[in-house]
Structure 1
């Protein structure tokens, strides 16, 4: 019998096989993407048909070159081994700013410049300059608005969710969902306290946090997370890990949430009972947990439902929407997730949809499983939210099917 290790090359490919062009591109994407993000707007704003008076073009080019150099260095210092918060703030802010600039420099050059030509506005150079100023103005406005959106206390989004298997005794159960708080380099302890105050006005029976509490260890971000201990619920406060916990000593976050009075649902469940009816509230570790190497951490739905009566409806907490395929196969009635941030900065949502089955809101999967995906309560990295507002979600569970219109 031939040893399979002898029939494969060092990178795991079969002998003679060649990686696809897309595979090669993805390998170099971390190097290519920053160059494109800075080089494309530089060319479109400074050189594509414009003849700026000296020294505008060289000075502008120097600014773009400095951004290309500083952004990755700051992000490596901020998010790498050094974990320097000031560097992370600089790198993350530059990333968000150049993404918006890249997007609108491309869009307005593709759409506005031809429109100006059709309208007979000026010559080529004049139209190019109009587009340049339009790009800069749009970018500045969106960044200012996006920063305010990211730093504000999220609006409450309320909706009724009809679960056919939910007993009448549990009709009207109030579930509040917060997720992706991402406490990080920007100190948001006051914001965290205000979020918790808002949650407490909603008179929840059950409050859920579906992971990505912070970027950094529990010890480092404790002050920002501490207000979570003030959250009130009549029945329970429950939490599951997100992928970012596994970048930052996940067990420390599990222990801290337990200390703050939240119940970590690590592949287990609890029962919510009222009026003679029962709801199974289950949770699983994030799908990245097993690859973290932490003993006992993995997403295990069978373990989460072990011992639960299969006749009872199931509410499942799972950080990533993509877990819904397993949830639907396991007979889960409603899955609550986060992770996507609704794309956070438009049009990044197109890339999110490549990896996840849902971006935001309530969706149906399979015959009997609903998925609610939150746009998140905080933000990751770049302190901007553009056309993807954050949210605190109030879901009121209703027994029976949604009434149909006459």
Structure 2
């Protein structure tokens, strides 16, 4: 019996082990594809460029392929060199945009030109090259501007059937994924906080990924969060990036700045004689971080709360929504996805998360709002995925009017 069980176990884990071995090669293969595909499409796809152009262009792509991973390791590894991180992140974003449009134009535009009978093979190949370079340049300039600007405010009414009439019109401001990092964004942080204050919200929420780096290192950029005002409370939960950078330090700093870290606990928001439970959980990666006392625990977050009251839950990753729906949560607020940040990366995000952006329903009661994020991670570009500060206005169900005599 034991031998058979062990054999089955071994047979069941073999495919998984092979998959894990294959996954190890992705960090090696992906950079090669990101640089090799555009190099081929732009230089070797039938253009017949002069030899100096072909050699020079190939050297540029080869330099990018070598420099990008080297800079990212020095920037995001143990050395934490901000200048190297900026270089590596910028090259990564540029390579992704070039790769995307090289694939699209290398197939679709070339096919359209061929069907239309436009020019000979060399003319079509060169048209594809200039189209890729032109579109990539425009998108990178525009994407950089989009990433660095103060996010626009996205306003949304959210109807919650269990919300008491006294809470109707409650204003909830959501910021998330500020990702203070290698690029100094103190001024940007100040302007974001001023924008939040202009909303005059009852509740202000930050759903994690404050920064890339420790609280001590990014304190100056995060300090303006201490100026944020709310009529009732400012609440915060950890994101996965906190667990790369001494999460407890960030919890302590947010507490110091006057925010309430909702680490598997809740507070009550009372307004107009009605009550809303505002709960929060640690990020789903917290337990695997090995940091004592950190884990996502919904039961602990709701412990002692009246089950008849509506619940607003803060959870960094949208994938927590399954547990939230099982626990009877009315509305979950999340970030993490950045809306994909650089198109069409959102298709890959969708493989890991149940939602990428916006409001969605899960089960009979539970709504999920996924923010596209307030800042950006890594590459300083946002392409077709604008950042946001979100103002959600909670709406109670309309009560039928009493009949008049």
For the superposition of Structure 1 and Structure 2, which TM-score range results when normalised by the shorter chain?
Answer: over 0.9
Q: Of 352, 356, 368, which residue of structure 1 is paired with 2:353?
A: 356
Cα displacement string for residues 58-107 of structure 1 (whole angstroms, at most 9, x for unaligned residues)? 11111100000000000000000000000000000000000000000110
Residues 308/185 of structure 1: CA separation in 2 closer, same or farther (3 Å cut) = same
In the alignment, what sits opposite 1:46?
Answer: 43
Residues 172/3 of structure 1: CA separation in 2 closer, same or farther (3 Å cut) = farther
Q: Of 215, 218, 224, which residue of structure 2 is paired with 1:218?
A: 215
Q: State how 1:292-311 maps to structure 2 within 5 Å.
A: 292-311=289-308
Residues 112/233 of structure 1: CA separation in 2 closer, same or farther (3 Å cut) = same
What is the CA–CA distance in structure 2 between the aligned matches of 1:94 and 1:342, rounded to whole Å?
21
Shift of 1:372: 0.2
In the alignment, what sits opposite 2:132?
Answer: 135
Residues 279 and 314, structure 1, Cα contact 8 Å, conserved in 2: yes
Residues 164 and 401, structure 1, Cα contact 8 Å, conserved in 2: no
What is the CA–CA distance in structure 2 between the aligned matches of 1:30 and 1:239, rounded to whole Å?
33
Residues 177 and 207, structure 1, Cα contact 8 Å, conserved in 2: yes
Q: Root-mean-square deviation (CA), in Å?
A: 1.9
In the alignment, what sits opposite 1:148?
Answer: 145
In the alignment, what sits opposite 2:101?
Answer: 104
What is the CA–CA distance in structure 2 between the aligned matches of 1:402 and 1:326, rounded to whole Å?
30
What is the CA–CA distance in structure 2 between the aligned matches of 1:143 and 1:310, rounded to whole Å?
49
Residues 153/15 of structure 1: CA separation in 2 closer, same or farther (3 Å cut) = closer
Unpaired runs of 5+ in structure 1?
Answer: none
What is the CA–CA distance in structure 2 between the aligned matches of 1:193 and 1:332, rounded to whole Å?
33
What is the CA–CA distance in structure 2 between the aligned matches of 1:172 and 1:18, rounded to whole Å?
53
Q: Of 190, 199, 204, which residue of structure 2 is paired with 1:193?
A: 190
Q: Of 24, 29, 33, which residue of structure 2 is paired with 1:32?
A: 29
In the alignment, what sits opposite 1:255?
Answer: 252
Q: Does 1:71 align with 2:49?
A: no
In the alignment, what sits opposite 2:268?
Answer: 271
Shift of 1:31: 0.6
Q: Of 262, 277, 280, which residue of structure 2 is paired with 1:283?
A: 280
What is the CA–CA distance in structure 2 between the aligned matches of 1:401 and 1:76, rounded to whole Å?
56
Question: Secondary structure in 2 aligned to 1:298?
Answer: coil
What is the CA–CA distance in structure 2 between the aligned matches of 1:330 and 1:3, rounded to whole Å?
41
Residues 314 and 333, structure 1, Cα contact 8 Å, conserved in 2: yes
Residues 31/8 of structure 1: CA separation in 2 closer, same or farther (3 Å cut) = farther
Unpaired runs of 5+ in structure 2?
Answer: 401-405
What is the CA–CA distance in structure 1 between the aligned matches of 2:15 and 2:294, rounded to whole Å?
35
Cα displacement string for residues 171-216 of structure 1 (whole angstroms, at most 9, x for unaligned residues)? 0000000000000000000000000000000010000000000000
TM-score, normalised with respect to structure 2: 0.96
In the alignment, what sits opposite 2:373?
Answer: 376
Question: Secondary structure in 1 aligned to 2:159?
Answer: strand
Question: Secondary structure in 1 aligned to 2:350?
Answer: helix
Q: Of 232, 238, 251, which residue of structure 2 is paired with 1:241?
A: 238
Q: Does 1:177 align with 2:171?
A: no
TM-score, normalised with respect to structure 1: 0.95
